[in-house]
């Protein structure tokens, strides 16, 4: 009896000790969550509210009195040629690269799903483009796409395909093509490794059984493998879409949005307008144009995850 009362000294009217409070799940749960939630609220929640506020006011480095302007910043942008071009670029960049990354990533994953010697080494090496800092690998691309010293141009001229090289980063269309190539190069390994993990969960016996029943390799792939890895494909696609639409580093290093603002994405244009030109509110509005697409992706993922977990 005595031992028991010593361990459970709660009697009516007495305040519980801290130790006892922490043994209550409801209390302990929130205490443990506190540090993380504090950081996320201070540096994601609060800035997000700030960005909404910025976007409906007219703050810039030169204004002293802040004025509420409603949606003016957003509508102003829709009349700007540079912004419309940027919007188009962002969609082209995201659409084209995601399709190629998916195709190449799927192909590479199928290749890597075979057994061969040095497989682990190959897997480690092929992930490199995705793992190293993008700003730094973009420097290699900057040099590869150099107007005069591009090794691609060297190959084009030497092989006799053309007598002059391509001005990779100096002409609008080619500049878009260049950043798209660099993005596909960087993103394909992420698709490949994620899809490979999905492929490894596919039951071999299922495929073998289908083969015995006379299904061709092609049929087995499209009718069995693809439906089974659809969850992975979907998640990778949505993640990549979010990351690509909000890309910054490749464009910042390769073209700074040029030539003549022809390769800006929403992120780099917002940076130019807000940080370099000092139009804070205008920049915030430009960034927020990413929001609708993000919402769609986030909701799709949440709905999907809820459905698959029940």
Partner 1 sequence: MTASAPRRLMTLYLPLSLASIVLLFPFYWMLITSIKTDRELIDLNGLPFWVFQPTLEHYRVLFAETGFLRWALNTLTISVVATAISLVCSILAGYSLARLRFRGAGAIAGAIFVTYLVPQTLLFLPLLEVVRQLGLSNTLWSMILTYPTILIPFSTWLLMGYFRSIPRELEESALIDGASRLRAMTQIVLPLALPGILSAGIFAFTLSWNEFIYALVFTNSTDIKTIPVGVVTELVKGDVYFWGSLMAGALLGSVPVALIYSFFVEHYVGGLTAGAVKG
Q: 115 to 174, contacts with partner 1 by CB under 8 A?
A: 116, 120, 122-129, 131-137, 139-141, 143-144, 148-149, 151, 154
Which of 13, 269 has the CB closer to partner 1? 269
The distance of closest approach from Cβ of residue 53 to partner 1 in the complex, given in angstroms and rounded to an integer, is 8
- Using CB under 8 A, pick the residue from 98, 106, 176, 236 that binds partner 1: 236
The distance of closest approach from Cβ of residue 249 to partner 1 in the complex, given in angstroms and rounded to an integer, is 5
Which of 13, 204 has the CB closer to partner 1? 204
Q: Residues 33, 37, 42, CA angle at the centre, nearest 5°?
A: 160
Q: In angstroms, rounded to a whole number, what is the distance separating the alpha carbons of residues 89 and 105?
A: 23
The DSSP annotation for 152-182 comes to HHHHHHHTTS-SS---TTTSHHHHHHHHHHH
Residue 38, SS3 per DSSP: helix
Residue 261, SS3 per DSSP: coil
# residues near partner 1 by CB under 8 A: 100
- HSE toward the beta carbon, residue 229, CA cutoff 13 A: 25
Q: In angstroms, rounded to a whole number, what is the distance separating the alpha carbons of residues 121 and 64?
A: 59
The distance of closest approach from Cβ of residue 270 to partner 1 in the complex, given in angstroms and rounded to an integer, is 7
Before 169, cis peptide (omega within 30)? no
Chain positions 261 to 300 lying near partner 1, rule: CB under 8 A, are 266-267, 270-271, 274-275, 280, 283-284, 287-288, 290-291, 294, 297-298
Tell me if 247 sits within 8 A of 93, measured CB to CB: yes
The distance of closest approach from Cβ of residue 37 to partner 1 in the complex, given in angstroms and rounded to an integer, is 7
The distance of closest approach from Cβ of residue 80 to partner 1 in the complex, given in angstroms and rounded to an integer, is 18
Is residue 114 within the footprint of partner 1 (CB under 8 A)?
yes
The distance of closest approach from Cβ of residue 25 to partner 1 in the complex, given in angstroms and rounded to an integer, is 4
Which of 37, 84 has the CB closer to partner 1? 37
Neighbours of 243 (CB within 10 A): 14
Which of 13, 67 has the CB closer to partner 1? 67
Q: Which long-range contacts (CB under 8 A, 24 or more apart) does 49-52 make?
A: 51/284, 51/287, 51/288, 52/288
Per CB under 8 A, which region of 65-73, 92-100, 171-179, 228-236 contacts partner 1? Answer: 228-236
Which of 7, 13 has the CB closer to partner 1? 7
- HSE toward the beta carbon, residue 54, CA cutoff 13 A: 22
Chain positions 190 to 219 lying near partner 1, rule: CB under 8 A, are 190, 193-194, 197-198, 201
Q: In angstroms, rounded to a whole number, what is the distance separating the alpha carbons of residues 153 and 3?
A: 85
Is residue 108 within the footprint of partner 1 (CB under 8 A)?
yes
240 contact partners, CB below 8 Å, separation of at least 6: 98, 101, 102, 187, 190, 191
Is residue 310 within the footprint of partner 1 (CB under 8 A)?
no
Chain positions 238 to 257 lying near partner 1, rule: CB under 8 A, are 239, 242-243, 245-249, 252-253
Tell me if 260 sits within 8 A of 172, measured CB to CB: yes
Report residue 30 as tokens.
């929130």
The distance of closest approach from Cβ of residue 77 to partner 1 in the complex, given in angstroms and rounded to an integer, is 15
Binding-residue pattern over the window 13 to 52 for partner 1, x denoting contact by CB under 8 A: ------x--xx-xx-xxx-xx-xxx-xx-xxx-xxxxxx-
The distance of closest approach from Cβ of residue 102 to partner 1 in the complex, given in angstroms and rounded to an integer, is 14
């Amino acid at each position: 009896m005595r031992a028991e009362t010593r361990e459970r000294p709660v009697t009516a009217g007495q305040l519980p000790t801290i130790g006892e409070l922490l043994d209550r799940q409801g209390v302990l749960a929130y205490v443990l969550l506190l540090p993380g939630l504090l950081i996320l609220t201070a540096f994601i929640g609060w800035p997000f509210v700030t960005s909404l506020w910025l976007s409906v006011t007219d703050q810039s480095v030169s204004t002293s009195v802040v004025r509420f302007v409603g949606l003016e910043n957003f509508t102003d942008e829709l009349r700007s040629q540079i912004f419309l071009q940027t919007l188009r670029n962002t969609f082209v960049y995201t659409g084209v690269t995601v399709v190629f990354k998916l195709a190449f990533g799927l192909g590479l994953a199928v290749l890597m799903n075979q057994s061969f010697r040095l497989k682990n080494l190959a897997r480690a090496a092929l992930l490199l483009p995705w793992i190293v800092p993008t700003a730094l690998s973009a420097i290699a691309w900057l040099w590869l796409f150099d107007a005069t010293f591009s090794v691609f141009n060297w190959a084009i001229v030497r092989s006799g395909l053309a007598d002059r090289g391509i001005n990779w980063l100096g002409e609008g269309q080619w500049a878009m093509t260049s950043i798209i190539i660099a993005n596909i190069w960087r993103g394909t390994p992420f698709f490949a490794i994620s899809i490979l993990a999905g492929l490894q969960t596919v039951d071999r016996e299922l495929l073998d059984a289908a083969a015995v029943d006379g299904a061709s390799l092609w049929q087995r792939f499209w009718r069995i493998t693809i439906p089974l890895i659809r969850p992975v494909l979907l998640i990778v696609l949505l993640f990549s879409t979010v990351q690509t639409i909000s890309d910054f580093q490749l464009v910042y290093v390769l073209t700074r949005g040029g030539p003549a603002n022809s390769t800006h994405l929403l992120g780099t244009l917002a940076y130019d307008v807000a940080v370099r030109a000092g139009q804070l509110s205008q920049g915030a509005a430009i960034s927020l144009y990413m929001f609708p697409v993000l919402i769609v992706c986030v909701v799709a993922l949440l709905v999907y995850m809820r459905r698959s977990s029940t």
